[in-house]
Chains A and B, each alone.
Chain A
Amino acid sequence: MKTEIKKLLKSIQIKAQKIGRPLRLMELCGTHSQTIAQNGIKSLMPDNIRLVSGPGCPVCVTAQKDIDIMVGLALAGIPVAVYGDAVQVPGNLMSLEEAGRKGAEVYIVYDITEAVKIAQKKPQLVFFGLGFETTTGMTAWAIKQGLMVYSAHKLFPPAMKALLANKKIKVDGFIDPGHVSVIIGVDVYCQFPIPQVVAGFEGKDVLIAIEKLLTQILNKERKVENAYQRLVKKEGNLKAQKLIQEVFKVADADWRGLGKIKKSGLKIRSKYQQQDAEVVHKKLIQKIKKEIKIKPSACQCGLVLQGLVEAKQCPLFGRSCTPDNPQGACMVSVEGSCNVEFRYVQNNK
Protein backbone atom coordinates (compact mmCIF):
# COMPACT_ATOMS: atom_id res chain seq x y z
CA MET A 1 0.00 0.00 0.00
CA LYS A 2 2.84 2.38 0.83
CA THR A 3 4.13 2.22 -2.75
CA GLU A 4 0.62 2.90 -4.06
CA ILE A 5 0.32 6.02 -1.91
CA LYS A 6 3.79 7.10 -3.03
CA LYS A 7 2.74 6.63 -6.66
CA LEU A 8 -0.36 8.77 -6.08
CA LEU A 9 1.67 11.49 -4.38
CA LYS A 10 4.21 11.41 -7.19
CA SER A 11 1.43 11.78 -9.75
CA ILE A 12 -0.01 14.72 -7.76
CA GLN A 13 3.45 16.35 -7.71
CA ILE A 14 3.95 15.93 -11.45
CA LYS A 15 0.49 17.18 -12.39
CA ALA A 16 0.67 20.16 -10.01
CA GLN A 17 4.01 21.11 -11.53
CA LYS A 18 2.62 20.84 -15.07
CA ILE A 19 -0.33 23.07 -14.13
CA GLY A 20 2.17 25.49 -12.67
CA ARG A 21 -0.21 28.00 -11.06
CA PRO A 22 -1.62 28.20 -7.52
CA LEU A 23 -4.74 26.07 -7.07
CA ARG A 24 -7.37 26.00 -4.34
CA LEU A 25 -9.28 22.75 -3.91
CA MET A 26 -12.21 22.80 -1.51
CA GLU A 27 -13.39 19.79 0.46
CA LEU A 28 -17.09 20.23 1.04
CA CYS A 29 -17.58 17.71 3.82
CA GLY A 30 -16.43 18.16 7.42
CA THR A 31 -15.39 14.52 7.64
CA HIS A 32 -13.10 15.06 4.64
CA SER A 33 -11.51 17.97 6.55
CA GLN A 34 -10.92 15.54 9.38
CA THR A 35 -9.41 12.88 7.07
CA ILE A 36 -7.08 15.51 5.58
CA ALA A 37 -5.92 16.63 9.04
CA GLN A 38 -5.65 13.12 10.48
CA ASN A 39 -3.44 11.96 7.62
CA GLY A 40 -1.40 15.15 7.36
CA ILE A 41 -2.45 15.46 3.72
CA LYS A 42 -1.95 19.27 3.60
CA SER A 43 1.73 18.80 4.43
CA LEU A 44 2.08 16.29 1.56
CA MET A 45 0.76 18.69 -1.06
CA PRO A 46 2.98 20.51 -3.57
CA ASP A 47 3.51 24.22 -2.79
CA ASN A 48 0.94 25.40 -5.34
CA ILE A 49 -1.92 23.23 -4.03
CA ARG A 50 -4.02 24.68 -1.21
CA LEU A 51 -6.72 22.57 0.41
CA VAL A 52 -9.51 24.67 1.91
CA SER A 53 -12.58 23.65 3.90
CA GLY A 54 -16.09 24.54 2.81
CA PRO A 55 -19.52 24.66 4.46
CA GLY A 56 -19.75 20.91 5.06
CA CYS A 57 -20.13 20.80 8.81
CA PRO A 58 -23.87 20.58 9.49
CA VAL A 59 -23.72 21.94 13.02
CA CYS A 60 -21.47 24.81 11.89
CA VAL A 61 -23.80 26.06 9.15
CA THR A 62 -26.85 25.96 11.41
CA ALA A 63 -27.95 29.57 11.89
CA GLN A 64 -27.59 31.20 15.29
CA LYS A 65 -31.32 31.97 15.17
CA ASP A 66 -32.14 28.25 15.12
CA ILE A 67 -29.89 27.60 18.13
CA ASP A 68 -31.58 30.50 19.95
CA ILE A 69 -35.05 29.11 19.19
CA MET A 70 -34.12 25.66 20.52
CA VAL A 71 -32.61 27.23 23.67
CA GLY A 72 -35.77 29.33 24.06
CA LEU A 73 -38.04 26.28 23.75
CA ALA A 74 -35.93 24.40 26.32
CA LEU A 75 -35.96 27.32 28.77
CA ALA A 76 -39.75 27.56 28.36
CA GLY A 77 -40.01 24.05 29.82
CA ILE A 78 -40.30 22.02 26.63
CA PRO A 79 -38.06 18.93 26.63
CA VAL A 80 -35.70 18.95 23.66
CA ALA A 81 -33.48 16.30 22.06
CA VAL A 82 -30.42 17.06 20.01
CA TYR A 83 -27.44 15.35 18.36
CA GLY A 84 -24.42 15.65 20.67
CA ASP A 85 -22.44 17.95 18.39
CA ALA A 86 -24.99 20.75 18.61
CA VAL A 87 -25.40 20.95 22.35
CA GLN A 88 -22.35 23.16 22.99
CA VAL A 89 -22.89 25.69 20.19
CA PRO A 90 -23.13 29.09 21.88
CA GLY A 91 -26.40 30.87 21.17
CA ASN A 92 -26.87 34.59 21.67
CA LEU A 93 -28.21 33.87 25.14
CA MET A 94 -26.56 30.53 25.93
CA SER A 95 -25.96 27.03 24.56
CA LEU A 96 -28.34 24.10 24.98
CA GLU A 97 -25.79 22.63 27.38
CA GLU A 98 -26.01 25.72 29.59
CA ALA A 99 -29.81 25.61 29.35
CA GLY A 100 -29.58 22.02 30.62
CA ARG A 101 -27.48 23.16 33.55
CA LYS A 102 -30.14 25.74 34.34
CA GLY A 103 -32.71 22.98 34.67
CA ALA A 104 -34.06 22.67 31.12
CA GLU A 105 -34.68 19.12 29.89
CA VAL A 106 -32.05 18.61 27.17
CA TYR A 107 -31.49 15.07 25.87
CA ILE A 108 -28.41 14.25 23.84
CA VAL A 109 -28.99 11.44 21.35
CA TYR A 110 -26.66 9.52 19.07
CA ASP A 111 -29.42 8.58 16.68
CA ILE A 112 -32.98 9.75 16.19
CA THR A 113 -34.52 6.42 17.26
CA GLU A 114 -33.45 7.33 20.81
CA ALA A 115 -35.49 10.55 20.53
CA VAL A 116 -38.50 8.55 19.29
CA LYS A 117 -38.20 6.35 22.40
CA ILE A 118 -37.96 9.36 24.76
CA ALA A 119 -41.01 10.90 23.06
CA GLN A 120 -43.07 7.83 23.93
CA LYS A 121 -42.83 8.96 27.56
CA LYS A 122 -42.61 12.68 26.83
CA PRO A 123 -44.85 13.38 23.82
CA GLN A 124 -44.11 17.11 23.95
CA LEU A 125 -40.41 16.45 23.17
CA VAL A 126 -38.99 18.56 20.32
CA PHE A 127 -36.11 17.13 18.28
CA PHE A 128 -33.66 19.59 16.71
CA GLY A 129 -33.58 18.41 13.09
CA LEU A 130 -30.37 19.64 11.54
CA GLY A 131 -27.95 18.53 8.90
CA PHE A 132 -27.87 17.77 5.21
CA GLU A 133 -29.56 15.11 3.09
CA THR A 134 -27.72 12.32 4.94
CA THR A 135 -29.71 12.79 8.15
CA THR A 136 -32.91 14.24 6.69
CA GLY A 137 -34.28 10.83 5.71
CA MET A 138 -33.91 9.68 9.31
CA THR A 139 -35.79 12.74 10.56
CA ALA A 140 -38.52 12.09 7.98
CA TRP A 141 -38.84 8.53 9.27
CA ALA A 142 -39.09 9.78 12.87
CA ILE A 143 -41.74 12.38 12.00
CA LYS A 144 -43.80 9.57 10.49
CA GLN A 145 -43.43 7.77 13.84
CA GLY A 146 -44.97 10.83 15.54
CA LEU A 147 -41.84 12.69 16.73
CA MET A 148 -42.14 16.47 16.91
CA VAL A 149 -39.31 18.26 15.09
CA TYR A 150 -37.96 21.77 14.68
CA SER A 151 -36.49 21.55 11.20
CA ALA A 152 -33.27 23.38 10.34
CA HIS A 153 -32.44 20.77 7.70
CA LYS A 154 -30.52 21.97 4.67
CA LEU A 155 -29.91 20.99 1.07
CA PHE A 156 -26.32 20.77 -0.05
CA PRO A 157 -26.36 21.80 -3.74
CA PRO A 158 -27.77 25.33 -3.10
CA ALA A 159 -24.79 26.02 -0.80
CA MET A 160 -22.42 25.00 -3.60
CA LYS A 161 -24.27 27.33 -5.95
CA ALA A 162 -23.96 30.19 -3.44
CA LEU A 163 -20.23 29.55 -3.04
CA LEU A 164 -19.66 29.63 -6.79
CA ALA A 165 -21.72 32.83 -7.11
CA ASN A 166 -19.49 34.62 -4.59
CA LYS A 167 -16.66 36.12 -6.65
CA LYS A 168 -14.51 36.56 -3.54
CA ILE A 169 -14.27 32.80 -3.20
CA LYS A 170 -11.70 31.35 -5.56
CA VAL A 171 -11.96 27.59 -5.94
CA ASP A 172 -10.53 25.43 -8.73
CA GLY A 173 -12.20 22.16 -7.79
CA PHE A 174 -14.56 20.55 -5.30
CA ILE A 175 -14.15 17.31 -3.39
CA ASP A 176 -17.85 16.48 -3.18
CA PRO A 177 -19.27 15.01 0.03
CA GLY A 178 -19.45 11.23 0.45
CA HIS A 179 -22.57 10.47 2.45
CA VAL A 180 -24.63 13.39 1.14
CA SER A 181 -23.92 11.96 -2.32
CA VAL A 182 -25.06 8.51 -1.17
CA ILE A 183 -28.51 10.05 -0.80
CA ILE A 184 -28.64 12.63 -3.63
CA GLY A 185 -26.47 10.83 -6.20
CA VAL A 186 -23.95 12.26 -8.64
CA ASP A 187 -25.99 13.75 -11.49
CA VAL A 188 -27.18 16.68 -9.36
CA TYR A 189 -23.63 18.13 -9.35
CA CYS A 190 -23.45 18.37 -13.15
CA GLN A 191 -25.08 21.85 -12.98
CA PHE A 192 -21.84 23.27 -11.52
CA PRO A 193 -19.17 24.13 -14.11
CA ILE A 194 -16.15 23.18 -12.02
CA PRO A 195 -14.01 20.01 -11.69
CA GLN A 196 -15.56 17.75 -9.03
CA VAL A 197 -14.85 14.34 -7.55
CA VAL A 198 -17.10 12.48 -5.11
CA ALA A 199 -14.82 10.84 -2.55
CA GLY A 200 -14.87 8.36 0.32
CA PHE A 201 -13.42 9.03 3.74
CA GLU A 202 -10.09 7.22 3.87
CA GLY A 203 -6.82 9.05 3.31
CA LYS A 204 -6.31 7.30 -0.01
CA ASP A 205 -9.84 8.22 -1.13
CA VAL A 206 -9.00 11.89 -0.65
CA LEU A 207 -5.63 11.52 -2.43
CA ILE A 208 -7.36 9.84 -5.37
CA ALA A 209 -9.88 12.71 -5.48
CA ILE A 210 -7.07 15.31 -5.51
CA GLU A 211 -5.23 13.43 -8.24
CA LYS A 212 -8.39 13.18 -10.35
CA LEU A 213 -9.12 16.90 -9.87
CA LEU A 214 -5.61 17.77 -11.04
CA THR A 215 -6.05 15.52 -14.10
CA GLN A 216 -9.27 17.37 -14.97
CA ILE A 217 -7.64 20.78 -14.48
CA LEU A 218 -4.67 19.74 -16.59
CA ASN A 219 -6.97 18.52 -19.37
CA LYS A 220 -9.17 21.63 -19.02
CA GLU A 221 -12.16 19.46 -18.16
CA ARG A 222 -15.07 20.32 -15.87
CA LYS A 223 -16.88 17.14 -15.00
CA VAL A 224 -18.16 15.17 -12.03
CA GLU A 225 -16.34 11.93 -11.29
CA ASN A 226 -17.43 9.36 -8.75
CA ALA A 227 -14.48 7.92 -6.84
CA TYR A 228 -16.77 6.42 -4.19
CA GLN A 229 -18.60 3.94 -6.41
CA ARG A 230 -18.54 1.26 -3.76
CA LEU A 231 -21.28 3.24 -2.07
CA VAL A 232 -22.50 6.17 -4.17
CA LYS A 233 -24.88 5.41 -7.02
CA LYS A 234 -25.44 7.73 -9.97
CA GLU A 235 -29.07 8.34 -9.03
CA GLY A 236 -28.52 8.22 -5.25
CA ASN A 237 -30.71 6.43 -2.73
CA LEU A 238 -34.19 6.67 -4.26
CA LYS A 239 -35.92 5.20 -1.21
CA ALA A 240 -34.43 7.89 1.04
CA GLN A 241 -35.24 10.62 -1.50
CA LYS A 242 -38.88 9.48 -1.60
CA LEU A 243 -39.12 9.52 2.19
CA ILE A 244 -37.67 13.05 2.37
CA GLN A 245 -39.99 14.27 -0.39
CA GLU A 246 -43.02 12.81 1.38
CA VAL A 247 -42.39 14.62 4.67
CA PHE A 248 -40.50 17.80 3.71
CA LYS A 249 -40.97 20.68 1.31
CA VAL A 250 -38.24 22.98 0.01
CA ALA A 251 -38.04 26.44 1.62
CA ASP A 252 -35.61 29.33 1.97
CA ALA A 253 -33.10 28.87 4.79
CA ASP A 254 -30.59 30.85 6.83
CA TRP A 255 -27.01 29.60 6.90
CA ARG A 256 -24.24 30.70 9.19
CA GLY A 257 -21.74 32.47 6.97
CA LEU A 258 -23.68 32.16 3.74
CA GLY A 259 -26.77 34.06 4.94
CA LYS A 260 -30.22 33.39 3.51
CA ILE A 261 -30.15 31.07 0.51
CA LYS A 262 -33.29 30.59 -1.55
CA LYS A 263 -34.74 27.09 -1.69
CA SER A 264 -31.90 25.67 0.40
CA GLY A 265 -33.80 24.35 3.40
CA LEU A 266 -36.46 21.83 4.26
CA LYS A 267 -39.61 22.50 6.25
CA ILE A 268 -42.22 19.98 7.32
CA ARG A 269 -45.23 19.54 5.02
CA SER A 270 -48.64 20.58 6.39
CA LYS A 271 -49.75 16.93 6.33
CA TYR A 272 -47.41 16.45 9.32
CA GLN A 273 -48.07 19.82 11.01
CA GLN A 274 -48.87 18.17 14.33
CA GLN A 275 -45.23 17.07 14.37
CA ASP A 276 -43.96 20.49 13.28
CA ALA A 277 -42.66 22.46 16.30
CA GLU A 278 -42.86 25.67 14.23
CA VAL A 279 -46.63 25.19 13.90
CA VAL A 280 -47.32 23.74 17.37
CA HIS A 281 -45.23 26.40 19.18
CA LYS A 282 -45.78 29.22 16.68
CA LYS A 283 -46.51 31.97 19.25
CA LEU A 284 -43.70 30.96 21.58
CA ILE A 285 -41.20 30.89 18.71
CA GLN A 286 -42.33 34.36 17.56
CA LYS A 287 -41.76 35.61 21.10
CA ILE A 288 -38.30 33.97 21.27
CA LYS A 289 -37.34 35.53 17.91
CA LYS A 290 -38.42 39.01 19.11
CA GLU A 291 -36.32 38.67 22.25
CA ILE A 292 -33.11 37.58 20.50
CA LYS A 293 -30.35 40.07 21.29
CA ILE A 294 -27.38 39.65 18.98
CA LYS A 295 -24.26 39.22 21.08
CA PRO A 296 -21.25 40.77 19.34
CA SER A 297 -18.39 38.35 18.80
CA ALA A 298 -15.08 38.39 16.93
CA CYS A 299 -15.73 34.74 15.93
CA GLN A 300 -14.92 34.25 12.23
CA CYS A 301 -16.79 30.95 11.80
CA GLY A 302 -18.98 32.39 9.04
CA LEU A 303 -15.93 33.34 6.96
CA VAL A 304 -14.13 30.08 7.76
CA LEU A 305 -17.13 28.16 6.38
CA GLN A 306 -16.69 29.88 3.03
CA GLY A 307 -12.97 29.26 2.82
CA LEU A 308 -12.38 33.04 3.03
CA VAL A 309 -10.48 32.83 6.31
CA GLU A 310 -8.45 29.93 7.67
CA ALA A 311 -9.16 28.78 11.21
CA LYS A 312 -5.81 29.93 12.57
CA GLN A 313 -6.30 33.43 11.14
CA CYS A 314 -9.21 34.07 13.53
CA PRO A 315 -8.08 36.30 16.43
CA LEU A 316 -9.87 34.05 18.92
CA PHE A 317 -8.40 30.76 17.66
CA GLY A 318 -6.39 28.93 20.31
CA ARG A 319 -6.60 31.92 22.66
CA SER A 320 -10.09 32.46 24.05
CA CYS A 321 -11.54 29.83 21.69
CA THR A 322 -10.59 26.16 22.14
CA PRO A 323 -12.59 22.88 21.94
CA ASP A 324 -12.96 23.04 25.76
CA ASN A 325 -14.22 26.60 25.64
CA PRO A 326 -15.63 27.14 22.13
CA GLN A 327 -16.73 30.66 21.12
CA GLY A 328 -18.32 29.54 17.89
CA ALA A 329 -19.80 26.55 16.07
CA CYS A 330 -16.64 25.84 14.00
CA MET A 331 -14.76 25.08 17.22
CA VAL A 332 -17.60 23.05 18.77
CA SER A 333 -18.19 20.38 16.17
CA VAL A 334 -15.58 17.68 15.67
CA GLU A 335 -16.10 18.33 11.96
CA GLY A 336 -15.64 22.09 12.28
CA SER A 337 -12.54 23.51 10.60
CA CYS A 338 -11.38 25.25 13.79
CA ASN A 339 -11.86 22.16 15.94
CA VAL A 340 -10.03 19.96 13.40
CA GLU A 341 -7.19 22.48 13.05
CA PHE A 342 -6.82 22.75 16.83
CA ARG A 343 -6.85 19.01 17.52
CA TYR A 344 -4.69 17.74 14.69
CA VAL A 345 -2.42 20.57 13.71
CA GLN A 346 -1.90 23.15 16.44
CA ASN A 347 -1.84 20.63 19.28
CA ASN A 348 0.83 18.52 17.60
CA LYS A 349 3.29 21.34 17.03
Chain B
Amino acid sequence: MCLAIPGKILKIKGQIAKVDFNGIQKEINITMVNAKIGDYIMVHAGFAIEKMDLDRVKDIQNYLNT
Protein backbone atom coordinates (compact mmCIF):
# COMPACT_ATOMS: atom_id res chain seq x y z
CA MET B 1 0.00 0.00 0.00
CA CYS B 2 1.79 3.11 -1.21
CA LEU B 3 0.55 5.55 1.39
CA ALA B 4 2.36 8.73 0.52
CA ILE B 5 3.26 10.30 3.81
CA PRO B 6 5.98 12.95 3.82
CA GLY B 7 7.50 13.96 7.16
CA LYS B 8 10.25 16.27 8.47
CA ILE B 9 13.27 14.85 10.29
CA LEU B 10 13.65 16.31 13.78
CA LYS B 11 16.38 14.11 15.28
CA ILE B 12 18.65 11.29 14.11
CA LYS B 13 20.11 8.52 16.24
CA GLY B 14 21.95 5.91 14.17
CA GLN B 15 19.50 4.38 11.67
CA ILE B 16 16.47 5.82 13.40
CA ALA B 17 15.07 9.31 12.96
CA LYS B 18 12.35 11.09 14.87
CA VAL B 19 10.05 12.40 12.16
CA ASP B 20 7.23 14.93 12.37
CA PHE B 21 4.12 14.24 10.28
CA ASN B 22 2.06 17.39 10.66
CA GLY B 23 2.23 17.30 14.45
CA ILE B 24 2.40 13.54 14.91
CA GLN B 25 5.88 12.26 15.69
CA LYS B 26 7.10 8.79 14.83
CA GLU B 27 10.38 6.88 14.74
CA ILE B 28 11.36 5.99 11.19
CA ASN B 29 14.19 3.83 9.87
CA ILE B 30 16.38 5.91 7.55
CA THR B 31 18.83 3.18 6.43
CA MET B 32 17.88 3.58 2.77
CA VAL B 33 18.37 7.35 2.43
CA ASN B 34 21.15 9.87 3.00
CA ALA B 35 19.13 12.24 5.14
CA LYS B 36 19.92 14.96 7.64
CA ILE B 37 17.92 16.92 10.22
CA GLY B 38 15.43 19.23 8.52
CA ASP B 39 15.02 17.04 5.40
CA TYR B 40 11.56 15.96 4.27
CA ILE B 41 11.33 12.23 3.62
CA MET B 42 8.70 9.96 2.09
CA VAL B 43 7.85 7.05 4.35
CA HIS B 44 6.59 3.62 3.30
CA ALA B 45 5.87 0.91 5.92
CA GLY B 46 8.07 2.48 8.58
CA PHE B 47 11.06 3.22 6.32
CA ALA B 48 12.15 6.39 4.57
CA ILE B 49 12.33 5.48 0.87
CA GLU B 50 13.49 8.84 -0.50
CA LYS B 51 14.04 12.48 0.31
CA MET B 52 11.43 14.90 -1.03
CA ASP B 53 12.76 17.41 -3.52
CA LEU B 54 10.96 20.52 -2.33
CA ASP B 55 11.90 22.52 -5.44
CA ARG B 56 10.22 19.86 -7.56
CA VAL B 57 6.99 20.12 -5.59
CA LYS B 58 6.56 23.41 -7.41
CA ASP B 59 6.86 21.64 -10.77
CA ILE B 60 3.47 20.03 -10.47
CA GLN B 61 1.98 23.42 -9.66
CA ASN B 62 3.69 24.96 -12.67
CA TYR B 63 2.39 22.23 -14.95
CA LEU B 64 -1.13 22.76 -13.68
CA ASN B 65 -0.81 26.49 -14.33
CA THR B 66 0.27 26.16 -17.96
Q: Chain A: residues with CB nearer than 8 A to chain B?
A: 1, 4, 7-8, 29-31, 83, 85, 110-114, 134-135, 137-138, 141, 177-179, 182-183, 200-202, 204-205, 208, 227, 229-233, 237, 239-240, 243, 334-335
Flag if A138 contacts B50 (CB, 8 Å).
Answer: no
Q: CB-CB < 8 A to B4: which residues of A?
A: 178-179, 200-202
B2 CB, min distance to chain A CBs, angstroms = 4
A8 vs B65: C-alpha distance when bound (angstroms): 10
Partner of B53, one of A202, A229, A240: A229
B2 touches A134 (CB 8 A): yes
A230 touches B60 (CB 8 A): yes
Please encode chain B, from 1 to 44, with 1 for each CB lying within 8 Å of some chain A CB and 0 for all others. 11110000000000000000000000001011110000000101
In the complex, the answer to whether B44 meets A204 with C-beta atoms within 8 Å is no
**Contact residues in B for A239 (Cβ distance below 8 Å):** 31-34
**Cβ contact of B49, chosen from A8, A183, A205, A227, cutoff 8 A:** A183
Inter-subunit contact A138/B65 (CB<8 Å): no
Additional A-B contact list (5), CB under 8 Å, known A141-B31, A230-B56, A334-B1: A113-B46, A227-B63, A230-B52, A231-B42, A239-B32
Chief secondary structure at chain A's binding surface: helix
Q: List 14 A-B contacts (CB under 8 A).
A: A111-B47, A137-B47, A138-B29, A141-B29, A177-B2, A178-B2, A227-B60, A227-B63, A231-B42, A232-B50, A237-B32, A237-B33, A239-B34, A240-B49
